[in-house]
């Protein structure tokens, strides 16, 4: 009996492990890494680490950060997570201009393309929006209250996106669903009108990504626990193509790995959307897909392995102006012990739209010394320039377990189920058969 209870506790603690996250400024001015409660920013233009200034009158993040995001123009940056705070930063001075409090833990954030709205989702499926009024450089916004605009019924929201034209807000959840809602003129009106549902995933949806920043675009990519990446027309919710990643990586056959362990954890695309990078659990590298939007097709291209250490990215981001793919792997804590958060950053060169159909162009995993910013950048973002290989493997395992516990529905064998009902007082003892 006690054993089961202990199991539960352990699972809870393990699901507290948060993966490291990475975001790159749209014009490559800075790069941000979040690991645990630490937010680390490096200024790529000046080659120095950034010190964050918090004027919002509220403390810095005190618990794991679960979502970070730059606005489309790069003026704003948003961070949020388990401490129920959504912090809005100005990226030129790295001042926090507003700390919005949420009732529940925050699992996803998004910034509208015009920078007018910040939206975030909590772990119980409610999505909120805050309007960002014009602000002056030296002035802080009053810490505003966010208004709830829509909700997925008690499901963890895993990803949140605005459509490029700002008309829709797209939310993905643990119950296999992607909802496309018409974004209201005023957040207080609520997003009542549902444009479509994108239904097709057979497990949790972990990430969603608008294919390109072109405002005419209506294509959406999503990845999930079913080991697929799917291409949608989000205005009508139709599934255009599906790419099964698991079998393509060779991981499932060679090591007898269960397909369900090959969940897609993150994805991002080049500016034009013709090349997609996909991060997968257990894969030391990234999977590349080629996406042809006019033919509405998605094809497996190849795997870019990362040589050397076990590097399984937990978050990836495209840097359009430098044609790079930035990746981070790490965890807030390792296996529920009190060890320091761990993060490792890698950069791949040559992540860009190709002119021809050839996807065979060079993609090169950069050596640490060749990354712009070099040792100083790694020192800032990783917290240390050298990281033990063993620690990386442990981190990968911890992140994977945490994600499974959080997002995969628990299955109890029937005898176990009976055992769980033991506390119920409405059960009849003498059941006649």
Partner 1 sequence: MGENPTHNKKTGLPRKRFYRARAHSNPLSDSHFPIPISPAEVDYSLHYPEMVKVDGSKKIQFADVGCGFGGLLIALAPLFPDTLMVGMELRDKVTEYVKERILGLRTTNPGQYQNVSVVRTNSMKYIPNYFGKGQLKKMFFLFPDPHFKEKNHRRRVISPFLLDEYAYVLAVGGIIYTITDVEELGEWMKSCLEEHPMFEPLTTEELEADQVVKLLSTATEEGQKVARNDGQTFRAVYRRIATH
Q: How far is the CB of 292 from partner 1 (least distance, A)?
A: 24
Of the residues 6, 194, 295, 364, which one makes contact with partner 1 according to CB under 8 A: 194
Question: What's the alpha-carbon Rg for the chain, to the nearest Å?
Answer: 21
If one counts every other C-beta atom within 10 angstroms of the C-beta of residue 368, the result is 16
Kindly tell me which of 59 and 192 has the beta carbon lying closer to partner 1.
192
Q: Is 231 in the site for partner 1 (CB under 8 A)?
A: no
196 binds partner 1 (CB under 8 A): yes
Residue 177 in the binding site for partner 1 (CB under 8 A): yes
Burial of 82-117, coded b for 16+ CB within 10 Å and e otherwise, reads bbbbbbbbbbeebbbbbbbebeebbbbbbbbbeeeb
Stretch binding partner 1 (CB under 8 A), from 89-97, 98-106, 187-195, 258-266: 187-195
Of the candidates 136, 338, 426, 430, which one interacts with partner 1 according to CB under 8 A? 426
Q: Which is nearer to partner 1, 361 or 421 (CB)?
A: 421
Q: Of the candidates 6, 48, 154, 364, which one interacts with partner 1 according to CB under 8 A? A: 154
For residues 299 and 248, give the distance between their C-alpha atoms in angstroms, rounded to a whole number: 10
At its nearest, how many Å lie between partner 1 and the CB of residue 232?
Answer: 12
Q: Are 156 and 200 in contact (CB under 8 A)?
A: no
Query: With binding defined as CB under 8 A, does residue 189 bind partner 1?
Result: yes
CA–CA dist 14, 407 (Å, integer):
13
What is the signed CA dihedral for 245, 250, 256, 257, rounded to 10 degrees? -40
Which residues face 30 on adjacent strands?
43
CB of 276 to partner 1, least distance (A): 23
**CA 102 to CA 147: how far, in whole Å?**
10
Interface pick for partner 1 out of 41, 50, 67, 191 (rule CB under 8 A):
191
Among 51, 137, 356, 409, binds partner 1 (CB under 8 A): 409
**Per residue in 40-59, is it b (16+ CB within 10 Å) or e — as a string?**
bbbbbeeeeebebebbbebe
Does position 433 interact with partner 1 (CB under 8 A)? The reply is no
Give the nearer residue to partner 1 in terms of CB position, either 84 or 302.
Answer: 84
For partner 1, the binding residue among 150, 251, 277, 286 (CB under 8 A) is 150
| Site membership for partner 1, residue 298 (CB under 8 A) | no
Q: Is 355 in the site for partner 1 (CB under 8 A)?
A: no
The residues that bridge with 129 in the sheet, in sequence order, are 119, 147
Determine, following the binding rule CB under 8 A, whether residue 420 of this chain makes contact with partner 1: no
Q: 359 burial class (0-12, 13-18, 19+ CB within 10 angstroms)?
A: middle
In the complex, the smallest distance separating the C-beta of residue 151 from partner 1, rounded to whole angstroms, is: 4
Q: Which is nearer to partner 1, 189 or 360 (CB)?
A: 189
Q: What six digits make up the tokens of 247?
A: 């079998």
Binding of residue 165 to partner 1 (CB under 8 A): no
48 near partner 1, judged by CB under 8 A: no
Q: Phi, psi at residue 293, to the nearest 5°?
A: -70, -30
Q: Which tokens is 133 given? A: 């009024």
Does position 175 interact with partner 1 (CB under 8 A)? The reply is: yes
Residue 208's closest CA among 194, 184, 185, 228? 228
Shortest Å, Cβ 152 to partner 1: 8
Binding-site member from 153, 355, 369, 422 for partner 1 (CB under 8 A): 153
Question: And the tokens for 14?
Answer: 């393990």
For the chain, give the longest Cα–Cα distance. 78
Q: In angstroms, rounded to a whole number, what is the distance separating the alpha carbons of residues 350 and 360?
A: 11
In terms of CB distance, is 244 or 271 closer to partner 1? Answer: 244
Could you say which of 120, 176, 311, 351 contacts partner 1 (CB under 8 A)? Answer: 176
Q: Is 411 in the site for partner 1 (CB under 8 A)?
A: yes
Minimum distance, C-beta of residue 193 to partner 1, in the bound complex (Å): 5
CA distance 79 to 110: 10
Contacting range for partner 1; rule: CB under 8 A; set: 177-185, 262-270, 281-289, 319-327: 177-185
Q: Does the footprint of partner 1 cover residue 410 (CB under 8 A)?
A: yes
Q: How many residues bind partner 1 (CB under 8 A)?
A: 28
Closest CA to 403 of 253, 287, 266, 309: 266
DSSP state of 290: E
**Which H or E run includes 398?**
helix 389-407
Residue 228 makes contact with partner 1 by CB under 8 A: no
Site residues (CB under 8 A) for partner 1? 126, 148, 150-151, 153-155, 175-177, 179, 181, 189-194, 196-197, 199-202, 409-411, 426
């Amino acid at each position: 009996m006690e054993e089961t209870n202990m199991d539960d506790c352990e699972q809870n603690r393990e699901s507290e492990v948060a993966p490291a996250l990475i975001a790159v400024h749209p014009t490559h001015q800075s790069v941000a890494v979040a690991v645990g409660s630490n937010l680390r920013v490096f200024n790529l233009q000046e080659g120095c680490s950034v010190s964050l200034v918090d004027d919002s009158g509220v403390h810095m993040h005190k618990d794991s950060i679960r979502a970070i995001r730059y606005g489309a123009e790069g003026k704003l940056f948003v961070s949020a997570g388990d401490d129920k705070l959504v912090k809005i930063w100005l990226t030129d001075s790295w001042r926090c201009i507003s700390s919005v409090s949420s009732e529940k833990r925050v699992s996803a954030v998004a910034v509208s393309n015009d920078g007018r709205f910040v939206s975030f989702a909590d772990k119980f499926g409610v999505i909120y929006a805050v309007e960002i009024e014009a602000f002056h450089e030296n002035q802080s916004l009053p810490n505003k209250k966010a208004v709830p605009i829509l909700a997925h019924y008690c499901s963890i929201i895993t990803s949140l996106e605005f459509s490029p034209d700002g008309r829709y807000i797209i939310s993905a959840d643990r119950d296999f669903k992607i909802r496309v809602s018409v974004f209201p003129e005023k957040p207080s009106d609520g997003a009542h009108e549902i444009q479509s549902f994108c239904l097709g995933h057979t497990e949790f949806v972990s990430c969603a990504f608008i294919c390109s920043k072109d405002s005419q675009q209506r294509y959406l990519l999503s990845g999930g626990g079913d080991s697929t990446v799917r291409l949608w027309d989000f205005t009508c919710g139709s599934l255009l193509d599906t790419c099964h990643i698991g079998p393509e990586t060779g991981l499932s056959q060679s090591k007898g790995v269960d397909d369900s362990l090959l969940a897609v954890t993150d994805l991002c695309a080049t500016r034009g959307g013709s090349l997609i990078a996909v991060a997968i659990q257990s894969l030391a590298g990234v999977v590349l897909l080629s996406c042809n939007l006019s033919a509405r097709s998605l094809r497996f291209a190849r795997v870019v392995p990362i040589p050397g250490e076990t590097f399984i990215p937990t978050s990836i981001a495209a840097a359009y102006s430098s044609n790079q793919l930035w990746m981070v792997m790490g965890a807030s804590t390792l296996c529920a012990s009190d060890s320091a958060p761990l993060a490792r950053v890698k950069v791949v060169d040559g992540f860009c739209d190709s002119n021809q159909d050839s996807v065979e162009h060079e993609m090169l995993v950069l050596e640490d010394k060749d990354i712009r910013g070099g040792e100083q950048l790694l020192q800032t973002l990783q917290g240390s320039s050298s990281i033990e290989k063993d620690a990386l493997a442990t981190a990968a395992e911890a992140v994977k377990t945490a994600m499974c516990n959080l997002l995969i529905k628990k299955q109890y064998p029937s005898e176990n189920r009976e055992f769980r009902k033991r506390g119920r007082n409405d059960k009849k003892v003498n059941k006649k058969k």
